[in-house]
Amino acid sequence: MSALGVIVAVLSVAVAAAVGVYIAAWVDIVLARAVAGVAVRPLEALVAPLSWGAAAALKARTTTERPDAETWALAPALLAALAAVGLAAVPLAPGLLAADVANGIVLFGAAMALVVVAVFLQGWSPNSPLPMIGGYRFIAEGLSYEIPLAVVLIAAALPARSLAIAPIVLSQENLWNVVRQPLGLPLYLMAALGLAFWGPLALPEGEDLAGGSSLEVSGVSRILWRIAQLMILVAVSAMGAAVFLGGWLGPLLPGAAWMIAKTLVLLVLLVGARHLVARVPTERYVIASWAILIPLSLLDVFIAGIQALVAAR
Amino acid sequence: MGLTATIARLAASAPARCFPLVGAQAEEVAPWLRLDPLLAIVDSPRAADVLLVLGRSDDEMLRAAAAVHDAMSPPRGVVVWSPDGVAPGRWPSSDAVIVREPGEIALTCRRLRDDLLGRRVTSSPDVLPDLDPAPWRGVGPFGQGGTGMTGGVPYGRPLAGRADDRDGLKLDQMLVRVGPFLPPFPPGLQLDVKLQGDVIQEVTIPAAIADAAGSSGGEAPLGAPGPRGHAARLAVAGDSPFTAALTRPVPIAELELPRARHHLAWLAEALRVSGLEAYGLRVLKLAFGLDLESADSIDALDRWLRRNVSLRWGTSHVGVVTGAQAEGLPGGPVVRASGDDRDARSLDPAYQRLGFEPVVRDEGDALARWRLRVAEARQSLQLAKRSGTSESTPSGVAEGPRGPLAADASPSAGLVALLPELLAGMEWGDAVTTIVSLDVGVVEPSEQRAAAGAGPS
Amino acid sequence: MQGVAVTLAIFFVTIAAFLVLRSAERRLSPRTSTAPARVPFTGGRSPDTHAWNRYHVRYYPMSLLFLAFDMEMVFMYPWAVVFVDEGLIALIEMFMFIVILLFGILYTWRERALEWA
Amino acid sequence: MILDVTFWAFAALAVFSGWRVFRADSMVRAAYWLLVSFAAVGVILVLMKAQFLGLILILMMGGEMTIMAVFMVAFMMNPAGLNPMTMVHRNRVAIVAGVVSFLAIAALGLFARFPTAPAPGGVDPTRKLGVELLGDSMLVFQTAGVTLLATMIAAIAISSARGRFGNADEGSVEPVQLVAADAGDEPGEEGPR
């Protein structure tokens, strides 16, 4: 265990998260303009996240009458830390992995399970009605997407015979999981949108709650919350690329380039979903998740299981 | 300070984030502001740089406006749009920047924002006195104003009380005083919503609003397009063509284009509330540049809406207005979406000559109202195209985009009155979908209301 | 252990970094807070009570269902590791296990316990 | 050395946060202090080479403690502790129970014989756990499955106010009558009673 190795790993995850977040914010702006039918100007939009963030940063922090100040401060930090841990669990190339643990998808699952805590605290802490409704909504949402998320990751682990991510990537050498387990990636992406409370699953922060759990937040805290949310998007995109799109596997280019390219593809998909899919109603989402998505994810496990058995024979 | 200045320079190209307070006679200005790249309309005053006061407000709305102003995070500024160059009513903030021309609103906001962030202008000071809602400091055994487990006013407010609920649990009932400036709701709409969890138990309408919606006139359709683009569009004509049509013949094209434009602007807002802000902007652009040749664009829009499963999921079977409920309403798209074909235009010989048939849907839910409005927008373009120079026949009733206008009734009064019945038992999100789909227009100038009460002057 | 150390380091460093960044806003903008500025926003009118209350979680049956399924996941992870080695028998076992649990969802759905509005 | 420091740090955190659970006024805080305590124990498990168990503990407790928080808020008056209160009741019983269980665990720690040899290398504990669970018979899985099913059905039957034949407080109505009485009546449209 070398201290230098730990420092390098922490720094590289920080850089990856920062770059990923910036790209996500930029892609969001570009896609929004494209969908709105106004001139896109991708290069000009490159500075937009920076200037928008700067404008927001110069605002003072607001508070409410009797908030839970400590948990309110903790919420964005916790969300970001969980996203960073999730991102650290994803290998960039063979051997290039920050958090090399034997139970990679369990680590990822544990980090993502705690996202519910961060978002709930963000909504609960200000002691304000609309954010609180948002926070409670996210619990309903979180309890609904968590099981499909874990189950499709488990299905991907079946052919690899391991819960670590690198063997899962290697097990896709002949055929990527996106083809082998056709239900896996769509279910994963739906859960990923929920994790990032983004676009169609932005239930805690929906426009119907006037911003919901982040309604009372201003200034730097507001940007930090948005950054943490985008970090989650980046982390789930990277994990999706590794587990379903064959990670670093690919011809010609070096492995890391493939991994980055695949992550970006998923990131664009997830970010774009916000501009094309309407926000789903909370209650109907919960029912659909339990009555349809969870059974489908279990079906996915069986498809994966039968396939793994046939392949092993 | 060096750091602040550097960040302020970085921020210079960002849009000014505005929280609009839409008053009477400003409904036709407000939607188009979203099209301006200099501005970003935000949902929460906490995130806004500029409070944008549009049109005229009554005293009650001004009180709320002051509260919204104080809720904004400093540095903050105020821009008031007032065609006659004076601040509306008794607007208490003396440092408001007053704009006469609608076309200058965006640039003024942007300049004010830059000055605020660069610390060249001081942040607008609080309007309301710094008073706790109830005295609590040092009160009670712990000095926080509370007594016992649930008594007293800890930190200035009491705790919520219990109430029965349909699932047999007796938990707390939370009263949320919605409006008049809560973004997903129509400007001016005030509701006292009693919630348990996220389900609405009871909705009551504060007396003043019920009053306003019931009073005369004031349908505010969107102005006609003019030659000078944005600025000209924003220059509001004193009267809408629909109120004009009450008393004199108006070319049908001048009624039908604004109707289509109103429906599309409504659709843009409805899409925004559904989480599709970007697509809403596309629709808003279409509405802004709407002309007789836009039929294809509306068809494309209709196809897109019909294919979008997520929108259908969020709106079908939501907020059903039954046939019986529709019968009690004066008319309008809401009624026609519930299987009732009342439309003042059917009685107009000029429209009859054009072969006018009202668009009707039977489902009565939010989705039906969405589709009906798009279909009506399409129909309006056809009518406008076919009408040539023919004019409407004044009969004392004219069909506005929200329903029939008469000299003494606004079409929204019935809708506001229907809300308590419609919303009880709904989940919050569905309730918002329902309210948005009804297209309620609430804001009325208090002067007009007073004038209506005092009789002709 | 390197992986564990990195994970812990990343977690705590990120938390610390975000808390430090958050406290930076005091330098950027002076913070003022008056009573009217602290009123929770619902559109311009003051609330009668605190928002914190005995909040009626409408989805409580679903959350109980979740507890059972959370337990199910604990069984699935180790099962996934040994699945291929154990072969068909593992598939059948998990199939039966999951079908049993699906009856739970079916029952809940039929009882309309997932609905709340 | 670092390992020891980390272990003691998280052990201290687990104890500290366990103590905070009973000092917090807010139900949400109490629940999440307990989560912190569990998470610290989870990290300790990971440090003790039971990585899967440690992580799964954190994974499960994330959801579980949230559910607990939500239920505690729903059923406790003054759930956010706006008026200070004490979370400790029946102190004498609690002290006795605490001392007894501490002594029992301490005795276990002092007198039990722990294996002194380090865990053999090259063994994947998760794999071993899987083999143990699947084992020679289907007993473990199927017992767990049936138990969980019973849990679910019991939980729903007890907690849910609605049923497929109408609400619980109205008694059940036969489906045939339901169709006749309830035609076109959306449940969402009912007002609160």
* CA distance linking residue D82 with residue D91, whole number of Å: 23
- My answer on whether D7 and D61 are in the same domain is yes
What is the rounded average pLDDT of the residues A222-235? 95
- Number of helices followed by number of strands (H, E) in chain C: 5, 0
Q: What is the pLDDT of residue D54?
A: 93
Mind listing the pLDDT tens digit of every residue in chain B (457 residues)? 577 888 888 888 899 999 998 877 777 788 889 988 889 999 999 999 999 888 777 777 788 888 899 899 888 899 988 776 666 555 666 788 888 888 888 999 999 999 998 888 888 888 888 888 888 888 888 888 888 888 888 888 888 888 888 777 888 899 999 878 899 898 888 889 999 888 999 998 886 544 444 433 333 322 222 222 222 222 333 457 887 888 888 888 888 898 999 899 999 999 999 999 999 999 999 998 888 888 889 999 999 999 999 999 989 999 899 888 888 888 889 999 998 888 888 888 888 888 888 899 988 899 999 999 999 999 999 888 888 888 888 887 888 888 887 766 677 878 888 889 999 889 999 999 999 999 888 765 333 333 333 333 2
Is residue D141 domain-resident?
yes
Residue C43 lies in a domain: no
CB-based burial, B329-358: b 16+ in 10 Å, e otherwise = bbbbbbbbbbbbebbbbeebebbeebebeb
> Mean pLDDT across chain A, nearest whole number?
92
pLDDT, tens only, A35-70: 998 888 888 888 999 999 999 888 888 888 889 989
Task: Please count the structural domains in chain C.
Answer: 2
Q: Pseudo-torsion of CA B393, B398, B400, B402, nearest 10°?
A: -150
Query: How many folded domains does chain A comprise?
Result: 1
Strand order in the sheet with B199-204: B161-162, B172-178, B191-196, B199-204
B253, B387 Cβ separation under 8 angstroms:
yes
Q: Exposed, middle or buried: residue B388 (CB in 10 Å: 0-12, 13-18, 19+)?
A: exposed
Average the pLDDT over D33-51 and give the result.
93
Q: Are residue D75 and residue D145 in the same domain, yes or no? A: no
The crossing angle, in degrees rounded to 10, of helices A219-244 and A255-276 is 120
Give me the pLDDT at residue A234, please. 96
Taking the Cβ of residue D83 and every Cβ of chain C, the question of whether any pair is shorter than 8 Å is answered with no
How long, in residues, is chain D? 193
Chain B nearest CA to D90, separation (Å):
18
Q: Report the chain B residue with the minimal C-alpha distance to residue A215.
A: B44
| CB-CB under 8 Å, A64 with C40 | yes
Could you give all domains of chain B from N- to C-terminal order, each with its CATH number?
A: 2-117 (3.40.50.12280), 221-409 (1.10.645.10)
**Interface residue B156 vs chain A (CB under 8 A):** yes
**Domain-terminating residue out of D16, D47, D80:** D80
D105 inside domain: no
Q: Give me the count of residues in chain C.
A: 117
- Domain range for D135: 125-182
Pairwise CA distance, residues B162 & A162, whole Å: 52
Q: Cβ separation of D55 and A113 shorter than 8 Å?
A: no
**Residue C40 falls within a domain, yes or no?**
no
Per CB-CB distance under 8 Å, the chain B contacts of C62 are none
Give me the pLDDT at residue B230, please.
26
Q: Quick check: is D149 in a domain?
A: yes
Look at the alpha carbons of B175, B178, B183, B185 in this order and tell me if their dihedral is positive or negative: positive
d(CA B158, CA A197): 33
Residue C114 lies in a domain: yes
Cβ-count burial D124-163 (b if 16+ within 10 Å, e if not): bbbbebbeebbeeeeeebeebbeebbebbbebbeebbbbb
Identity (one letter) of the amino acid at B132?
Answer: D
Residue D114, in any domain of the structure: no
Alpha helices (runs of H) in B202-348, residue ranges in sequence order: 207-214, 230-234, 241-247, 252-273, 277-288, 295-307, 309-315, 323-327, 333-336
Q: What is the pLDDT of residue B407?
A: 61
Q: Which of residues 60-79 of D touch C (CB under 8 A)?
A: 60, 63-64, 67, 70-71, 73-77, 79
In a domain, D118, yes or no: no
Rounded Cα–Cα distance for residues B420 and A1 (Å)? 65
The residue to which tokens 């049923």 are assigned: D163
pLDDT-derived band at D176, boundaries 50, 70, 90: low
Please, which residues bridge with residue B404 across strands?
Answer: B399
Q: Is residue D56 part of a domain?
A: yes
Residue C64: domain span: 56-117
Cα distance between residue A99 and residue A83, in whole Å = 13
Please name the residue of chain C whose CA is at the shortest distance from the CA of residue D146: C100
Nearest by CB to C54, which of B46, B74, B172? B172
- Distance (Å, rounded) from C-alpha D99 to C-alpha D105? 10
- Token readout for D88 is 């400790």
Q: Which of B200, B276, D130 is nearest to C56 (CA)?
A: B200
SS3 B457: coil
User: Tokens 């821009």 label which residue?
Assistant: B79
**pLDDT tens-digit readout, C57-111:** 989 999 999 998 888 888 889 888 888 888 888 888 888 888 888 999 999 888 8
The predicted model gives A155-171 an average pLDDT of 91
The partner residues of B20 in beta bridges, in order of sequence, read: B52
pLDDT at residue B239, as a whole number: 54
DSSP D109-138: HHHS----SPPPTT--HHHHHHHHHH-SSS
CA distance A24 to chain D (A): 27
Residues C96 and D144: their CA atoms lie apart, in Å, by: 11
Q: pLDDT value at position A70?
A: 92
Which structure tokens are listed for B317?
Answer: 């079977």
What are the residues facing B152 on neighbouring strands? Answer: B146
How far apart CA A200 and CA B24 sit, in angstroms, is: 34
Max CA-CA distance within chain B?
80
Do D61 and D4 lie in a common domain? yes
What span, in angstroms and rounded, lies between the C-alpha atoms of A109 and B384?
A: 59
DSSP H or E run through B16:
strand B16-22
Domain assignment present for residue C112? The answer is yes
With beta carbons under 8 A apart, name residues in chain B contacting A281. Answer: 313-314, 318, 427, 429-430, 433
Mark yes or no for CB contact D163/C111 under 8 Å: yes
Q: How far is CA A26 from the centre of its chain?
A: 17
- Percent helix, percent strand, percent coil in chain A, to nearest 5: 75, 0, 25
Q: Kindly state whether residues C61 and C98 are assigned to the same domain.
A: yes
pLDDT of residue B224: 27
Give per-residue burial for A26-48: e unless 16+ CB within 10 Å, then b: bbbbbbbbbbbeeebeeeebeeb
Q: If interface means Cβ-Cβ distance under 8 Å, which residues of chain B face chain D?
A: 142, 144, 146-152, 154-155, 159, 164-169, 171, 196, 199, 201-202, 317, 320, 424-427, 430
First-last CA distance in chain B: 58
- Residue D17 CB burial class (10 angstroms; 0-12, 13-18, ≥19): buried
**Given an 8 Å threshold on Cβ–Cβ distance, is D56 in contact with A107?**
no
Alpha-carbon dihedral sign for residues D15, D21, D24, D30: positive
Under a CB-based contact definition with an 8 Å cutoff, are residues D48 and D21 in contact?
Answer: no
Q: Which domain holds residue A160?
A: 3-312
- Other residues' Cβ atoms within 10 Å of the Cβ of residue B102: 23
Asked if pLDDT for residue C19 goes beyond 90, the answer is yes
Regarding whether C62 and C14 lie in a shared domain, the answer is: no
B125 to chain C, minimum CA–CA distance in Å?
10
Closest CB from B49, B310, B318 relative to A280? B310
- Is residue D103 in a domain? no
**Which structure tokens are listed for D106?**
């301490």
pLDDT score, position A60? 85
Q: Which of C:2-41 have CB within 8 Å of A?
A: 2-7, 9-19, 21-22, 24-25, 28-33, 35, 37-41
What are the C-alpha distances in Å from A219 to residues A56, A62, A209, C23? 5, 8, 20, 11
Beta strands in chain D (DSSP E): 162-163, 166-167
